[in-house]
Amino acid sequence: MDNLTTPLTHIGIIMDGNRRWANKEGLPTLKGHQEGLKTMVSIAEHIFSRGAKYLSVYAFSTENWNRSESEVEYLMDLVPFAFKKYLEKLDEQNIRLLFMGSSTGVKKSIVELCESAEKQTANNSGGTLCVCFNYGGRQEIIEAYNKYAKEVQKENHVLHLDEFSKYLYHPEVPDVDLLIRTSGEKRVSNFMLWRIAYSELYFTDKLWPDFKASDIEQAIKEYNRRQRRYGV
């Protein structure tokens, strides 16, 4: 097991491959999403045990609304299932939950569940799991700018990078150090565009439900080989 020789505070994961995993196993697509949820919780526990402080996962993108009506409906129903099955476990593990994304189009009952989970785990200090739900990186930037424009309302005001960051979803969440994408795809798919500007990227052919603690260790090993230059 590699030590975190290069500072690694925030890991982001694009959890890709649930549907392909289900097809490979001869199972319904919905089963793939259930297994993906199980993997998410397991990987979160491992990452925080390794000393990372933040894990952000891409659970449902703004583009996912374009999937079949039945799949979207199931993904929405998976939210209360996830809370019922895993919330107490995450809370007992001292993990804090945050939700990033737009509430537009999301059922009020789901929004309330997310808000309740944030409140229940607000004082936990064992790591922060940021669930990006109904999330899009471009949408986050547009919403941040609109908040800024509404608040400032000054002519000739020069907008600075550090100033703008405070208008993002949960601005206390730092930039992503290591971005992992599963399933063999090599793109960022509108995920945390502002925060991944200098992220190290790691791609694996593993489908998300097959992703294990040993795969995280391989990603950390590769990360430790990198020299982060930040343009220098």
Task: For 138-170, write each residue's pLDDT tens digit.
Answer: 999 999 999 988 887 766 677 788 889 999 999
Model pLDDT for residues 176-223, shown as the tens digit of each residue: 999 999 999 999 999 999 999 999 999 999 999 999 999 999 999 999
Half-sphere exposure of 25 (CA within 13 A, CB side): 17
Q: What digits encode the pLDDT tens for the residues 105-131?
A: 999 999 999 999 999 999 999 999 999
User: Residue 118: in which H helix or E strand, if any?
Assistant: helix 108-120
Q: Which residues are catalytic?
A: 16, 64
Q: What is the pLDDT of residue 7?
A: 74
- Give the predicted TM-score (pTM) of the model: 0.93
Q: How far apart are CA 20 and CA 89, in angstroms?
A: 28
The whole-number pLDDT of residue 66 equals: 94
Q: What domains lie within the chain, and their CATH numbers?
A: 10-225 (3.40.1180.10)
* DSSP 8-class letter at 30: H
Do 174 and 98 contact (CB within 8 A), yes or no? no
Query: Distance between CA atoms of 57 and 217, rounded to whole angstroms?
Result: 17
CA dist., res. 192 & res. 63, Å (int): 14
Angle between helices 69-92 and 29-49 (to 10 degrees): 30
